[in-house]
Structures are given as structure tokens and as C-alpha cells.
Amino acid sequence: MPAAAHRFFVLTGGPGSGKSTLIAALAARGFKVAPEAGRAIIRQQMRIDGPALPWQDRAAFADAMLIHDMRSHDEMANAAGPVFFDRGIPDVAGYLSLCGLPVPAHIVRACAAFRYARDVFLAPPWREIFARDAERRQDWDEAVRTHGVMARIYPEFGYRLLDLPLADVDARADFVLRHVAAAG
């Protein structure tokens, strides 16, 4: 495992489960964070009328997310202290699986080569905070299915899942930071 991997913590789960809000709260507390690839790629592709969109070319969208996530991983290698990632490279494999597409060997290799801390924080589906928008077109049922796929995929790559509590963002941030401190 690369030296920095033990400091890299992933937050995953279905869309609309509070991951990005939690990432923003951790950033506000002074921690390094890596934003979600999907939203950035959607904004970029929409700006140029590009094809790498989840509703247009899912395989191209997955490859764009992979490139973004590998770059984020590399860029954070020299960051001091813990770094929190809004989704990780195994999410790309999970996305393809959710779409019924094969997971190419290069994505499996990326999941093996670009590692994170063993413990991954999983945000459960939470109907009360779920909302759709221009970039998040998934409905509630797809959000629940996405959670299930991520709950299956991460352990396949050797990670242990920790369920985030259904609590306000400050309580969730405290939960994450207590675990990170205990992990040393």
C-alpha cells in the first residue's frame, strides 16, 4: 500500500445521502478534501456538449471519472494529515456494475494500485435529505440500488465499511473524525 493510503479516507454511498455536505463540513474544519468526480465531469461535459455523460455514454463517463479520481489521488499524496475523498476509485467499478456494464481490467487494476485507508465510510440512503437536481438525475430507487452496489463493491476490493449515522452534518463529521483519530 502506498505510504499516503492510510491517510486517505473515502466517503461513499448512493446519491443524495449527504456525502458532499459532509465533505464540505470537513473542509470547513480545515481538512484536505477531494470533491466528487461525477459532478465535475457532468458540468464540464455539459459545458462543451460532450458525450461523457451518464445519460449518454456511461462507459466514457466511467473512464472520465477514473482519470479524475486517479489524478486526485496523486495530487493528495503529499498533503499532510488525513484527506477525505467524496467517492473513491472503487465507485467507478460500482457505477459500471450498477449500469450492468462489465468492469474493464484497467479499472480493476486501478482499484488495486490506488489504495485508500481500509475503513470506508458508507452513507446510507436517507429519504429526508434526498433531492434531485440538474446533475443528480437519479431517483430514490436508483439511490438505494447505488448504496447496495457500493456496499458490495468496496469489500470486494478489501475495504471494511463503516455506516455513517443518520444524523446532522456536525454529528456525522464528529463520527468520522473520532474514527480517524482512533485509527491513528
- The pLDDT of residue 31 is 97
Q: Is the pLDDT of residue 130 over 90?
A: no
* CA-to-CA separations, 64 to 92, 146, 182, in angstroms, rounded: 10, 19, 35
Over the stretch 28-84, which tens digit does the pLDDT of each residue have?
999 999 999 988 999 999 999 999 999 899 999 999 999 999 999 999 999 999 999
- The pLDDT of residue 137 is 63
CB 92 within 8 Å of CB 114: no
C-alpha cell at 77: 499524496
C-alpha cell at 103: 468492469
For all residues of the chain together, what is the average pLDDT?
A: 92
Can you give the pTM of this predicted structure?
Answer: 0.93
Nearest CA-CA partner of 5 in 144, 158, 164: 158
Q: Domains for the chain: give ranges and CATH numbers.
A: 3-183 (3.40.50.300)
Residue 91 φ/ψ, nearest 5 degrees: -60, -30
Which residue is it, cell 480545515? 30
Residue 117 φ/ψ, nearest 5 degrees: -55, 150
- The pLDDT of residue 150 is 97
CB 58 within 8 Å of CB 101: yes
- The pLDDT of residue 155 is 98
